[in-house]
Amino acid sequence: MCPAKKRRSTLQRRVIMEELKKNENHPTASELYEIVRRRLGDISLGTVYRNLVLLSDMGIIQKLALMGSETRFDGKLEHHYHVQCIHCGKVDDLHGLPSELLVKLPKKHNDFLITGHRLVFYGICSKCQQEGD
Ligand SMILES: [Zn+2]
Ligand SMILES: [Zn+2]
């Protein structure tokens, strides 16, 4: 890659990371694309998506396993749980869970060595509750 191109992709990655860390709504690649586009101008959705996948492979951000067709991303790395609205798909961080739930994982179960877990709560967000009235 030529130096100018390399500088540009480093800048793109930095802006994508900064905007995701600022955003608490667990955006999809397209939502984040709309935001970084305002700062970077000519960037494609594909580039944003590729960078998000790369950053999550590097362990700098989290890729969320949730229902719905589009992958969502989280700039917050420390372990926390999510609650997702079954109507609109909105995702929030879930606060107030006892912390022992986060750490008391069996290391082994049957033939498995346990390396992690995923747990997502589902519900109806306040906006969708109002619309249901
Ligand atoms: Zn909702
Ligand atoms: Zn989160």
74, 89, 109 - which closes a domain: 74
User: Does pLDDT of 103 surpass 70?
Assistant: no
- Which ligand places an atom closest to the C-alpha of 25? 2
* One domain, residues 66 and 85: no
Q: Give, as one character, the DSSP assignment of residue 88.
A: T
* One domain, residues 32 and 66: yes
Please give the share of the chain, as a percent, with pLDDT higher than 70: 92
Length of the chain: 133
* One domain, residues 87 and 63: no
Q: How far is the CA of 122 from the centre of ligand 1 (A)?
A: 10
Q: Which of 113, 78, 84 is nearest to 99 (CA)?
A: 78
* One domain, residues 57 and 103: no
The lowest-confidence range among 41-50, 71-80, 83-92, 109-118 is 109-118
- Of the two residues 108 and 40, the one the predictor is more confident about is 40
**Backbone angles phi and psi of 22, in degrees to 5:** -80, -25
Domain count, the chain: 2
Do residues 105 and 117 lie in contact, with contact meaning Cβ atoms separated by under 8 Å?
A: yes
The lowest-confidence range among 49-58, 75-84, 109-118 is 109-118
Residue ranges with CB less than 5 Å from ion ligand 2: 74, 76, 93
Q: Which of 90, 123, 84, 97 is nearest to 23 (CA)?
A: 90
Q: How far is the CA of 44 from the centre of ligand 2 (A)?
A: 25
Domain limits at 99?
A: 81-132
Q: Where are the beta strands (DSSP E) in 7-125?
A: 62-64, 72-74, 81-85, 91-94, 108-109, 112-113, 120-123
Residue type, 111: D
Do residues 64 and 82 lie in contact, with contact meaning Cβ atoms separated by under 8 Å?
A: yes
Task: List C-alpha distances in Å: 47 to 20, 66, 130.
Answer: 15, 22, 37
